[in-house]
Structure 1
Amino acid sequence: MNKLYFSQTNQMLRLICIKLPRQLKHKVSSLTHGHFFSTSSAKPIAELPNSKDPQSLTVSFLQNSCGLSLESAISASQKLNIDNPKNPNSVLDLLRTHGLTQTHIRNLISSRPLLLLADLENILKPNMELFESLGFSCASLGKMLSRDPRVLESDAYTVVEFFRAHGFSDDQISTLTMKRPLLYLFNAHKTFKPKLEFFKSLGLSDLEIAKILSTQPPILARSLEKQIIPCVQELRRILGTEENVLKAIKAGYGLIEANVEKVLKPNLSMLISHGVPHSLALKLFFLRPNPLLMSTYRFSEIVSEVMKFGFDPNNLQFVLAIRSMAMSKTLWKRKVEAYRGFGLSKDEIYSAFIRHPLFMAVSEKKIKISMGFFVNKLKMKPLLISKNPNLLLLSLEKRIIPRCSVLQLLMSKGLIKADTSLVYVWRMTEKYFVEKLVCKYKSDVPDVVRAHQGKIEFQGFSIDLKM
C-alpha cells in the first residue's frame, strides 16, 4: 500500500514539476527522489515540508492556513514569499472576523495571493469596515470579494464618498458594488465624473442618474467619447427629440450602452420590414426597449413567432407581444409550464396571450403566487383566468387581497350581496372602488378602512362567489 501511494505521489509531483519555473524544478525533483516522504511513515503532503526554504514555507502556509491544493499553492507561491507569517495570519484573521468562510478565503487567496502581504491597518481593515457599513452581509461580502479580490486593496473610501456626494444612497452603492466590483479600480473623479456630468446635461436629475447607474453599473466602465455620446446622438436621430431620448433611456437603461449600428438599427428595420408602421415601432422604445437590444437572430425569431400567433403589425398588440416574448426560450417554456400546473391547457394559455400579450410578461414567481391564490384560495376555474388574462397584471398585495378583505367584511355584515362579481370588483378603478365600497360603509363598519389598507387578514369566502 505504501509503495503504491509513494509511486502515485511521485507521478503527481513530476507532473507539477513540468509546470514550475526552472529554479524550482530541482527542489520538487529532489522531493520525488525520496526526501518528501519517509517510505516507512508516508506522511500526508499537508504535514510537510519541514524545510526552512522560503518557497517551501510559503507552499506549506498556503496549503495549511488557506486551504489551497498543492498545485494551487505552488502556483501561488511564485507570486509571493512568506518569510514571516505574522501579517498573512493577521489578514486571514481579519477575513474570518468579518464572516468569510474557508471557501471564500481559499478563492480569494487563489486568485490574489499578494492579498496576504497587503497593508492591514491602512487598507484592508478600513475597506472591510467600509463595506460592512454599506450593509453587506457576510455571505454577500464573501461573494463580492470573490468576484474581484483587488477591491480590498483599492481606495474604496474615495469611490464610496464620490458616489455619496453625487446622490447615491448606501443601498445603491452596495448594489453597484455587488454587480460591478471592478469599478473600485477606476479613478472615480477622472472616469466617472465626466459621465455623470454628461447625463445631467441630458436633463436627468441626480436621483435618476443614481437609479440608472446602480441598476446598470457597466455603463460607468464604458467610454464616454467612443460609446455613450455616439449612442445618445444616434438615439436623437432615431427618436427625433431630446424628450423622446430621455423617455426611452428611462424605459430601458441598457440603451445607453447599446450597439446601435449592429443591433439596434437592424432590429428596428426588421420591424418595419414586417409591416409595423414607423411610429408604432418607435413605441417599443418607450414601453420597454430591451427587445431591440437582443441579438438580431433571436429578435428575428421572436418577430416570426408573433406573426404566427396572428397579431396584426398595424396594431399595438403586435409590439406588446414582442415585448412579452423577449426572453429566452427556456424561460418561456417554464412560464407555460407554470400556468399548466394550475390547470390551464396550452391552447388556453396562448388564447390568453393573444387577448392580452402582457399575460406572458409576468414573472414566473408571480404566476405561481397569483395563480395559487386564484385557483387554490378562491377556487376560480382556470378557464375564467384565461378569459380575463389582465388579472395577472394586478397586484395581489395592493389590490386583489385588500379588496377581497373588504368584500369579506361587508358580506359578513350583510351589506352587499353574495352574487357580487369578484372580477368586476377587481377591475374597478381605485377611485370608484373607494367611493362605492369603502367610503359608503365606513361610518357603519369602520374596519372597512383597515381592510382596504390590508390590515385585516383575508381568511377566504365562506360561500362560492360569482366570478
Structure 2
Amino acid sequence: MAMMLPLLKRSLYLTSPLSITPKNATFILRLSSSASATQNPSPKSNIMADYLIKSFGFPPQKAATASNYIAHSASTENADSVRNFLERHGFTESQIHAIVSWDARILVANVDETLRPNYKALRDIGYFSDAELNRLLTYHPRIFTHPRAIPRLNFWKEFLMNDKKKLLTAFVRNPGLICQDIDSGITPKISLLKDYGLSQNDIAILLLRGPGVFRRSVTSMEALLNMIAKELQLADKSWKFARCLIALSSIGTDNFQVKKELFMSFGWTERDFLDALRRDPLMVRFSEENIRGKVEFLVGKGGCENSYIVSHPSILGFSLEKRLMPRCHVMNILKSSNLVGRVGNLYNVICLTEKKFLDKVIFPNMARLPELHDTYIAACASQIPL
C-alpha cells in the first residue's frame, strides 16, 4: 500500500461541481457477524490467512495478524463476493489491495446489506463521481460502513468551503476523521483553536498539513496550545504559532521533552533550544539518530558552532548524506584554497538548489580547482570518505 499511495495522491485532482443533499443520507451498518479480534486464532482463521496470502500477497505474519479480525469466517465465499463487488464498481486491483491492507474486516461485510446500499447512498448524494468516490474509499474504507459518514462529510465539505480537493486531502491525511463525532469531538477543538486566534482558514491548513492536531483530545490540545503560547512565547494568530502546533502535535508531549534533552546534550541551553524551535518548529520532527548525526557532523567536520545551528535550525532539515556532507566537503576544499569568500556562508550554500549550487559554487571555481566537480559528484555518491 505504501508504494501505491503516492500514485493515488497524484490522481486526486478533481473538478466536478459541489452539491450534497440530504437524500439517502442514512447509512446501514450490518456486518455478517462480530469482527472482534481473537488472541488465539482458531483453525478457521488459517483459511483467511491463506486467502490473504494467495489473493493479496500478504506476508505470512501480516496475514496471520489480519486474519485475527476475521477469524469467525468459515470460508472465503463472502470475501470473494466483496472482491467481486468492488471490481464491478470500478475499483482497480491496486485499490482493492489497498482497502484490504488498510482493514481486512471489509472481507466479512455483507455485500447486500452493507456495502451495496452504503455505496449507493454515497453515490446518490451527487458530490463525487464514481472514480472520485473510489479514490476516497480506497484511502478511507471506514466510510463504507460508518453510519454517520454522510453527515460528517457534509460538515467538512462546508467547513472547507466546498473545496473538494481539500476535502479529499483531509480524509486521506486523517484516517480517523470519519470516526470523530462532530458535536462532542470536532466542534470543541475548532472552538478552542479559534480562542487562540486561529482563523477558519488557519484551522483548515492544520487539518491538511498537521493531522496530529485533530487526533488529540480537547484537554491535550489545550495543554499544547498553552505551552506554545507561554513557554515558546509565540503570538497567537502568527503562522509560526500554527507551524509549531503542527510540529509538536506530531511528536507528543513526552517526545518533546526527549528532544529537548537531546539538543541540550549537545551543549545547548534551554533558551537555545526554545530560540531554535521558534525559528523552525519542524526541527523536532526528526528521529534522535537523524538529529544527532547532523549536529555532530556540523559541529565537527562542518566547522559550525552550536550558536550557528541555533540561528539556522532549518539546516537540520536537509539530508546528511546527500546535502550536508558533500557540500561541506566542497566548502572545506574552497576554504583551504582561500576561495570560500566567493560563495557565501554555509547555510546559504546548503539551501541552494542543485543547479544553483553547480552554477554559483562549483563551475566558477573549476578554473582554479579543475577536479572540483568530479570530487563533488563522488562525495554525493559516498565514494570518498567525508
**Are the counterparts in 2 of residues 359 and 389 from structure 1 also a CA contact under 8 Å?**
yes
Q: Which has the larger radius of gyration?
A: 1
Cα gap change, 1:393 to 1:213, in 2 (>3 Å): farther
Is 1:166 the counterpart of 2:88? The answer is: no
Q: Is the 8 A contact 2:283 2:313 kept in 1?
A: yes
Q: CA deviation at 1:196?
A: 9.7
Distance in 2 (CA, whole Å) between partners of 1:230 and 1:337 is: 45
Question: Are the structure 2 counterparts of residues 147 and 249 from structure 1 closer, same or farther at C-alpha, using a change threshold of 3 Å?
Answer: closer
Aligned to 1:115: 44
How far apart are 1:288 and its partner, in Å? 2.1
Structure 2 equivalent of residue 235 of structure 1: 156
Q: 1:286 to 1:412 in 2, by over 3 A?
A: same
CA spacing shift, 1:208–1:312, aligned 2, 3 Å? farther
Q: Tell me which amino acid in the other structure corresponds to 2:348.
A: Y
Q: Is the aligned partner of 1:316 residue 2:236?
A: no
Could you tell me which runs of 5 or more consecutive residues in structure 1 were left unpaired when the two chains were aligned.
Answer: 1-106, 119-123, 461-467
Match of 1:142 among 50, 57, 64: 64
Residue identity opposite 2:44 in structure 1: L
Identity percentage over the alignment? 19
Partner of 2:308: 384
> What root-mean-square deviation, in Å, do the aligned CA atoms of Structure 1 and Structure 2 show?
4.3
The equivalences for 1:55-204 within 5 A come to: 111-113=40-42, 115=44, 124=47, 128=50, 130-132=52-54, 134-146=56-68, 148-150=70-72, 153-154=75-76, 155-159=78-82, 166-167=91-92, 169=94, 173=97, 176-177=99-100, 179-187=102-110, 191-192=114-115, 194-195=118-119, 198=122, 202=127
Q: Normalising by structure 2, report the TM-score.
A: 0.69
Distance verdict in 2 for CA 1:433–1:258, change over 3 Å: farther
Between Structure 1 and Structure 2, the one with more helix by share is 1
Where do 1:190-229 residues align within 5 Å?
A: 191-192=114-115, 194-195=118-119, 198=122, 202=127, 210=135, 216-223=140-147, 227-229=148-150
Query: 8 Å contact 2:326–2:376 — kept in the other structure?
Result: no
TM (norm. structure 1) is 0.58
8 Å Cα contact 2:53/2:60 also seen in 1 = no
What residue identity is the alignment partner of 1:283? I
User: Deviation per CA, 1:370-407, whole angstroms, max 9, x where unpaired?
Assistant: 445434664643332222111222334554345446x2
Q: How many residues align?
A: 338
Deviation at 1:312, TM superposition (A): 0.9
Aligned pair partner of 1:265 in 165, 180, 187 = 187
CA distance in structure 2 between the aligned counterparts of 1:394 and 1:196, rounded to whole angstroms: 47
Partner SS for 2:268: coil
State the alpha-carbon separation in 2 of the partners of residues 134 and 415 from structure 1.
61
Return closer, same or farther for 1:413/1:383 CA change in 2, 3 Å cut-off.
Answer: closer
The one-letter code matched in structure 1 to 2:103 is R
Retained in 2: the 8 A contact 1:145–1:151?
no
1:306 aligned onto 2:233: no
Q: 1:439 to 1:231 in 2, by over 3 A?
A: farther
| Structure 1 Cα separation of the partners of residues 120 and 349 of structure 2 | 46
* Aligned AA (1:166): F
Shift in Å at residue 216 of structure 1?
Answer: 4.9
CA–CA distance in 1 between the matches of 2:121 and 2:110?
A: 16
Taking structure 1 as reference, are residues 455 and 188 closer, same or farther at Cα in structure 2, changes over 3 Å only?
farther
> What amino acid is the match of 1:229?
I
Alignment of 1:9-24 (within 5 A): none
Unaligned runs of 5+ in 2: 1-36
Q: Is the 8 A contact 1:324 1:357 kept in 2?
A: yes
